Chains A and B, each alone.
Chain A
Amino acid sequence: MSNKPDNSIYSKPLIFSVIALVVILIGSVITAFYPLIRADMHPKLDNLHPYTPFELAGRDIYQREGCGYCHSQNVRPLKTDVLRYGAYSQAGESAYERPFLWGSRRTGPDLARAGGKYHDNWHTLHTLNPRHFSPKSNMPAYPWLENALLSPAAVEANVKAYGYINYSPADIQFLEGKTELAALTAYIQSLGRGVKKEGFGYRVGTVEDYKNFLAKGVRGTVDQGQGIYTNECAGCHGVDGKGSAQGKLSEGISTMNLKDAREMGYEAADMYVQIFNGLEQLMPPYGNVLSSEQIDSLILYIETLERR
């Protein structure tokens, strides 16, 4: 089928294969192998710590359940990524990641900054039934994690293979009787902890901001507020504002009952500040996700709850 002279490399398979292999290797060596020995490929943030054995066990479960096919762990240096998720990812954050879990698909939100965003109990409830907080979420429920116990011996073997981790026998003993769910939560809470929370993209809402907004004379609407409330807030505060998950979520917190908020002395401006900034570990900040007008709508809607 060819018209080439007979003695070309196309009639010498050995030479052909060697040349093909070399050609294949050039790009591989330059873009993939050579970087292995470059210093700029091994950065580490100063305040980055390896996982604890407990967290690593959670990471293993994250791998096993394929969470990473829906969740990326890489905030891109793009304005809206930073507004939505937080400070963009740095090379030095991943020093102890093996394998990397940056992901390639965001069916769900990025998790690189998920640590500390919610309370442990939120994760427990969410992992067992994501629809509890976001009625339209498509994240699968993971009920089997609730009763499955970690095997300390297996975790220890994993820790040894993983490397990086200095652990004591107490760390391993600690795993006794712990559930997979608890380990997974510990892992999620560790995400992004090497990175400072403040900085680019984080704004703090103040009472002044709300006054300035009101001064413009445009108000939100109760309807808009109800829509946002149902999707974003009802999971924690209950459809009626009486709190739904309070037993589990608000340990040590006096109340999540929005109906009582006014009695406790919350003014509209305080609510604005609260909704804008959230509460570390308890309530996510909405300042970057909602406009002042939308927050105002929420306040107006919450006020109708109070009257019911």
Chain B
Amino acid sequence: MNDTLYNNRTVEGFLLSSLVWGVFGIVFGLLISVQLWEPAFNFGPFLSYGRLRTLHISILAYGLGLGVIFGLFYFMLVRLTKRGLVFPRLARFHLWLWNIGVVVAGASLFLGFTQSLEYAEFEWPVDIVVVIIWVIFAVNIFASVFLREEKQMYVSLWYMLASVLAVAVLYLVNNIAIPAGLTKSYHIFSGINSANMEWWYGHNIVGFLLTTPILAMFYYFLPVSTKLPIYSHRLSIVAFWALVFTYLWTGAHHLVYTPLPDWIQTLGIVFSLILIAPSWGSVINGFFTIESDWSKLQENYLTKFFLAAITFYGLQTIQGPGQSVRVISGLVHYTDWVIGHVHMGTMGWVTMTATACMYYVFPKIYNTEIFSVKLANSHFWLVFIGQLMYSFTMWIAGIQQSVMLKQLNSDGTLANTFMDTLVAIYPFWILRTVAGLIFTVGMVIFILNIVLTIVKGRSLSQSRA
């Protein structure tokens, strides 16, 4: 294959490393899910829940998530700009530095070096590495875009540029800290400003890592893999601008019923509701694209991945705004309900889209077909069922616990102690572990399918040569 044009080796490097990190992250996810119903599974300081939970999240976001983003962005970039990367060696260095970064960052979390800011746990030395990695990435993206051969920038490129810019702003601001030593620092913001800044960051880092890049992938890989054109270009334009405008106002929906001034909370809530429109712009675009030819659902095994993914995204972007509203937040905040929301997004939308894209990419790289469509189909159903079971058990557990916590006796006292409510949700937590295992089996099948495709592709190219 033409590696100088397509930089396939770098793309492949990112995607394969991301799968390795994904395995780590999912194993940690399973372990913490067990720890929640069987505390004997906390093994010493490094493997205790408080540290592992962060590892689970960070490795999946910054290992699996970022790896997929880097790999697939480079893949799309060369095709959308119709030219090879401007700095292919830099991209290679990017791959290495990022992998080393994940190792260092992971080790630092095991050791308990943390800023305690969700999604921004890394201490400042790791932050510096993250910034370097991001600058390299941005240089490559912008250089290719500025020197592109195709004049028009396709929708995916807009989302890519916006993601690169937004993450840079978010990461730089919220990570400003006063260092006390190599391994410890304190947020420069304090009190309610610390909270406000963190959730402006937290909501939007999820948005610009787990939503807009995935939309970039969706807008590119859905049409190329199904050969169906995107339904409406105008809708893409409106949805894009409305989304990147609205997103940044909504962080305060994580701080409903806290001492944060009401006007910020209310802005966050109102804009969350507005956010339904641009989110559904893309959902509708996706639906109608697939709707234009339902036979694709039969013919092309990838169509259902995209259909399921965009459906979960659609549900996610209805549920999220709902959770922002005060009465609903009062019920579900702090509970497993939110955990159900999180995993519908991460397992249903992000992982589903990312794996579908990889099914397209690897055969492309090796100029072959996927090893087995059957395996891909079983992967789909396992992940689908595992994810639904995960989310449903958590939604039920969340509501159950919340209602129990709020129940009053006739004389106005609380009906249940905290422990009563905890014991009541243990069965759901056990089911969640089962759901996680089903999901994991699906992911293992996926990885196997990819590896076998590569093996097949390599032997083919050898015999061709």
In the complex, what distance in Å separates the CA atom of A182 from the CA atom of B278? 52
Chain B stretch 170-202: residues in CB contact (< 8 A) with chain A: 173, 178-181, 184-198, 200
Interface assignment of A279: CB less than 8 Å from any CB of chain B:
no
| Interface 9-residue window, one of A11-19, A166-174, A257-265 | A11-19
Chain A stretch 1-22: residues in CB contact (< 8 A) with chain B: 1-4, 6, 10-11, 13-14, 16-17, 20-21
A24 is contacted by which of B165, B223, B258, B414 (Cβ under 8 Å)? B165
B115 is contacted by which of A3, A20, A90, A99 (Cβ under 8 Å)? A99
Contact in complex: A13, B145 (CB < 8 Å): yes
Contact in complex: B191, A96 (CB < 8 Å): yes
In the complex, what distance in Å separates the CA atom of A229 from the CA atom of B12? 60
* Chain A residues near B186 (CB-CB < 8 A): 98-99, 158, 161-163
Contact in complex: A104, B254 (CB < 8 Å): yes
Contact in complex: B114, A66 (CB < 8 Å): yes
CB within 8 Å for A66 and B180 given contacts A16-B153, A32-B197, A35-B193: no
Contact in complex: A287, B413 (CB < 8 Å): yes
In the complex, what distance in Å separates the CA atom of A231 from the CA atom of B250? 41
* Chain B residues near A140 (CB-CB < 8 A): 35, 39, 42, 48-50
* Chain A residues near B377 (CB-CB < 8 A): none
- For chain A, the count of residues having a C-beta within 8 Å of the partner chain is 96
Shortest C-beta distance, B162 to chain A (Å), equals 5
Residue of A nearest to B219 (CB): A1
Contact in complex: B39, A70 (CB < 8 Å): no
* Chain B residues near A91 (CB-CB < 8 A): 191-192, 259-261
Shortest C-beta distance, A129 to chain B (Å), equals 10
Contact in complex: B49, A99 (CB < 8 Å): no
Shortest C-beta distance, A155 to chain B (Å), equals 10
Interface assignment of B244: CB less than 8 Å from any CB of chain A:
yes
* Chain A residues near B250 (CB-CB < 8 A): 27
Interface assignment of A60: CB less than 8 Å from any CB of chain B:
yes
* Chain A residues near B146 (CB-CB < 8 A): 13-14
CB within 8 Å for A99 and B258 given contacts A20-B244, A23-B241: no
Residue of B nearest to A74 (CB): B258
Contact in complex: A84, B158 (CB < 8 Å): no
Contact in complex: B200, A100 (CB < 8 Å): no
Q: Which one of A4, A30, A98, A142 has the highest number of Cβ atoms from chain B below 10 Å of its Cβ? A: A98
Tally of A-B residue pairs with Cβ under 8 A? 286
Shortest C-beta distance, B21 to chain A (Å), equals 20
Interface assignment of A283: CB less than 8 Å from any CB of chain B:
no
Interface assignment of A69: CB less than 8 Å from any CB of chain B:
yes
Contact in complex: A101, B116 (CB < 8 Å): yes
In the complex, what distance in Å separates the CA atom of A290 from the CA atom of B418? 11
Contact in complex: B420, A231 (CB < 8 Å): yes
Interface assignment of A248: CB less than 8 Å from any CB of chain B:
no
Interface assignment of A136: CB less than 8 Å from any CB of chain B:
yes
Contact in complex: B180, A160 (CB < 8 Å): yes
* Chain A residues near B259 (CB-CB < 8 A): 74, 89-94
Contact in complex: B39, A66 (CB < 8 Å): no
Interface assignment of A26: CB less than 8 Å from any CB of chain B:
yes
Taken residue by residue from 64 to 82, chain A's Cβ proximity to chain B (1 for < 8 Å, 0 otherwise) reads as 1111111010101110100
Shortest C-beta distance, B177 to chain A (Å), equals 8
Interface assignment of B364: CB less than 8 Å from any CB of chain A:
no
CB within 8 Å for A99 and B248 given contacts A76-B257, A232-B419: no
Contact in complex: B116, A94 (CB < 8 Å): no
A13 is contacted by which of B118, B142, B415 (Cβ under 8 Å)? B142
Residue of B nearest to A7 (CB): B151
A17 is contacted by which of B113, B165, B173 (Cβ under 8 Å)? B165
In the complex, what distance in Å separates the CA atom of A258 from the CA atom of B264? 52
| Interface 9-residue window, one of A105-113, A239-247, A299-307 | A105-113
Interface assignment of B166: CB less than 8 Å from any CB of chain A:
yes
* Chain B residues near A83 (CB-CB < 8 A): 413-414
In the complex, what distance in Å separates the CA atom of A32 from the CA atom of B271? 14
Contact in complex: A23, B244 (CB < 8 Å): yes
B39 is contacted by which of A41, A131, A163 (Cβ under 8 Å)? A131
Taken residue by residue from 97 to 135, chain B's Cβ proximity to chain A (1 for < 8 Å, 0 otherwise) reads as 000000000000000111111100000000000000000
Residue of A nearest to B201 (CB): A32
Shortest C-beta distance, B348 to chain A (Å), equals 20
Contact in complex: A142, B48 (CB < 8 Å): yes
Residue of B nearest to A5 (CB): B152
B50 is contacted by which of A67, A99, A160 (Cβ under 8 Å)? A67
Contact in complex: B191, A97 (CB < 8 Å): yes
In the complex, what distance in Å separates the CA atom of A158 from the CA atom of B184? 8
CB within 8 Å for A30 and B192 given contacts A105-B334, A157-B180: no
Interface assignment of A42: CB less than 8 Å from any CB of chain B:
yes
* Chain B residues near A161 (CB-CB < 8 A): 178-180, 184-186
* Chain A residues near B195 (CB-CB < 8 A): 94, 100, 102
CB within 8 Å for A11 and B114 given contacts A28-B169, A89-B258: no
CB within 8 Å for A13 and B116 given contacts A31-B251, A69-B53, A100-B194: no
* Chain A residues near B463 (CB-CB < 8 A): none
Contact in complex: A10, B117 (CB < 8 Å): no
In the complex, what distance in Å separates the CA atom of A17 from the CA atom of B169? 13
Contact in complex: A31, B233 (CB < 8 Å): no
* Chain A residues near B155 (CB-CB < 8 A): 2
* Chain B residues near A78 (CB-CB < 8 A): 257, 330
B245 is contacted by which of A23, A36, A292 (Cβ under 8 Å)? A23
Taken residue by residue from 217 to 229, chain B's Cβ proximity to chain A (1 for < 8 Å, 0 otherwise) reads as 0000001000001
Beyond the given pairs A1-B223, A66-B50, 17 more chain A to chain B contacts, judged by CB atoms under 8 angstroms and listed by A's residue number, are A13-B153, A17-B165, A23-B241, A24-B162, A24-B245, A28-B248, A41-B191, A74-B258, A80-B408, A94-B195, A102-B255, A138-B37, A138-B38, A158-B180, A158-B186, A289-B413, A294-B413
**Subset of 30 A-B contacts with CB under 8 Å:** A11-B152, A11-B153, A17-B165, A24-B248, A26-B248, A27-B271, A30-B249, A31-B252, A31-B264, A32-B251, A36-B189, A64-B112, A66-B48, A66-B53, A76-B257, A80-B406, A80-B408, A84-B405, A91-B260, A98-B191, A102-B255, A105-B339, A130-B39, A131-B39, A137-B39, A138-B37, A140-B42, A158-B181, A287-B413, A291-B413
Footprint of B on A, CB under 8 Å?
1-4, 6, 10-11, 13-14, 16-17, 20-21, 23-28, 30-33, 35-36, 40-43, 60, 63-70, 72, 74, 76-78, 80, 83-84, 89-109, 130-131, 134, 136-142, 144, 154, 157-158, 160-163, 228, 231-232, 287-294
Footprint of A on B, CB under 8 Å?
35-39, 42, 44-45, 48-51, 53-54, 112-118, 142, 145-146, 148, 151-155, 158, 161-162, 165-166, 169, 173, 178-181, 184-198, 200, 223, 229-230, 233, 241, 244-252, 254-255, 257-261, 264, 267-268, 271, 330, 333-335, 338-339, 405-406, 408-411, 413-415, 417-420, 422-423, 426
